[in-house]
Chains A and B, each alone.
Chain A
């Protein structure tokens, strides 16, 4: 899928993606030459069709996670389908959790509040969500993840609904 700015004969660049939560999607493309912008709006069926391909318009802010498509779209899931690898002790309680969990590279600690917030994520996707936050933290040099970091990561990565 490419958008061509006819007056400039240039391909328009992806600029922004919005997911308002009603099943629709808006993707903004702009022409680097004349600055003209256009928005591609998809209805819920079109959005679902693209999503079911396992791709994301505008590119991926983080690499595709294991079972991402299945975990994101399957209904009627088993909440304990995955071992609770996210059963972390908050880092301000002994013993300190300076060890990485098996699924995250490097040592990232989680604050008490961050653990509580993570525990509210449905079990079916919690491991995937945890991995994404941990990878973001490692990339940004964060030693201990707090809810504020989770908010920043969600904003940075465009993780609607996580």
Chain B
């Protein structure tokens, strides 16, 4: 008995007027149109959690803006947003503008978009309307759609830099790369060997994606005392090992300074407030490095 033969999907040109494909193409076009007004996309990522990505993003964004750049910042961490708070914009409101959603204004005029600006309760976990029992099937898709909207539907205006704070997990990095191709990637790690092992996977992901302008940010390299002296925090030097093994350069080494953490958590980027501090100076140098890197203002 022979199997029935009929035309397959690709044999049929007509699209049933359902328009699904056209809608996806339009989504992509909206994203491309928005990105056209952004000079340089900088992704701050790690793969590892708790290494200071958000604090670095907030401080770098504020310092770049203070140096005269037009800066936007997207908090891609939908489940644990903190960027708006660190930039002092957590109580800000969005707008409905003719060209899209008007972002909140943060420190130094940084334009901010974060899930925290949309959620009603400060301790609310991210939840979606829908059949919860099957949420594992569609939740990731919904989050990817929201991230797309955070980038494509916000009226960023003309930007010199759009910084994207990427949550932990190499899958989250891959999700971002499905949407945008960063001009620069800042790979944040600490001297801890366990961090190096995780971040090495992200470095490989970026290398395989062909992203060449990647710099390592070595965070918590030492403990900064109030008098400016530095004390070792770790006995390992994972950042340098990572740089050697991944053939990447270290773009910045940032000591741990409790004042930096306290001020940033309170919505006052420390590198902006105390630029002469050890960590403030390091962030300032990082900003200069970003400006010289591909598509930076001084590239």
B138 within 8 Å of A (CB atoms):
yes
Q: In the complex, what distance in Å separates the CA atom of A147 from the CA atom of B139?
A: 36
**How many interface residues does B have (CB within 8 Å)?**
49
Contacts of A124 in B (CB 8 A): 118
Min distance, Cβ A49 to any Cβ of chain B, angstroms: 4
B23 and A66 within 8 A (CB) = no
**How many interface residues does A have (CB within 8 Å)?**
56
B96 within 8 Å of A (CB atoms):
yes
Contact among A11, A13, A68, A74 for B129, CB-based, below 8 A:
A74
A12 within 8 Å of B (CB atoms):
yes
B1 within 8 Å of A (CB atoms):
no
B101 and A66 within 8 A (CB) = yes
Within 8 A of A (CB), among B120-176: 120-121, 124, 127-131, 134, 137-139, 141-142, 145-146, 148-149, 153-154
Q: In the complex, what distance in Å separates the CA atom of A127 from the CA atom of B7?
A: 45
Min distance, Cβ A2 to any Cβ of chain B, angstroms: 5
User: What 0/1 readout, one digit per residue, does chain A (68-100) give for beta carbons within 8 Å of chain B?
Assistant: 111011111111111101000000000000000
Q: Select the stretch in A50-58, A112-120, A136-144 that faces chain B.
A: A50-58
Assuming the contacts A67-B153, A76-B120, A77-B118, asked whether A85 and B96 have C-beta atoms less than 8 A apart, the reply is yes
Contacts of B97 in A (CB 8 A): 102-103
Interface secondary structure of A, over-half rule: loop
Min distance, Cβ A72 to any Cβ of chain B, angstroms: 8
B93 and A81 within 8 A (CB) = yes
B23 and A11 within 8 A (CB) = no
B117 within 8 Å of A (CB atoms):
yes
B178 within 8 Å of A (CB atoms):
no
Min distance, Cβ A65 to any Cβ of chain B, angstroms: 8
B12 within 8 Å of A (CB atoms):
yes
Contacts of B24 in A (CB 8 A): 53, 55
Min distance, Cβ B174 to any Cβ of chain A, angstroms: 18
Within 8 A of A (CB), among B48-75: none
Q: In the complex, what distance in Å separates the CA atom of A14 from the CA atom of B20?
A: 11
Contacts of B15 in A (CB 8 A): 2, 11
Interface secondary structure of B, over-half rule: mixed
Contact among A11, A29, A105 for B98, CB-based, below 8 A:
A105
Q: In the complex, what distance in Å separates the CA atom of A130 from the CA atom of B138?
A: 29
User: What 0/1 readout, one digit per residue, does chain B (184-218) give for beta carbons within 8 Å of chain A?
Assistant: 00000000000000000000000000000000000
Which B residue's beta carbon lies closest to that of A59? B19
A52 and B145 within 8 A (CB) = yes
Q: In the complex, what distance in Å separates the CA atom of A107 from the CA atom of B148?
A: 31
Within 8 A of A (CB), among B7-46: 7, 9, 12, 14-20, 22-24, 26-27, 30
Contacts of B141 in A (CB 8 A): 49, 52-53
Q: In the complex, what distance in Å separates the CA atom of A72 from the CA atom of B142?
A: 11
Q: Which residues of B contact A (CB under 8 A)?
A: 6-7, 9, 12, 14-20, 22-24, 26-27, 30, 93-98, 100-102, 117-121, 124, 127-131, 134, 137-139, 141-142, 145-146, 148-149, 153-154
CB-defined A-B contacts under 8 Å, sample of 10: A4-B7, A48-B130, A54-B27, A57-B18, A60-B19, A73-B142, A74-B129, A76-B127, A83-B102, A105-B98
Q: Which residues of A contact B (CB under 8 A)?
A: 1-4, 6, 9, 11-14, 23, 27, 29, 44-45, 48-49, 51-60, 63-64, 66-70, 72-83, 85, 102-105, 124, 127-128, 130-131
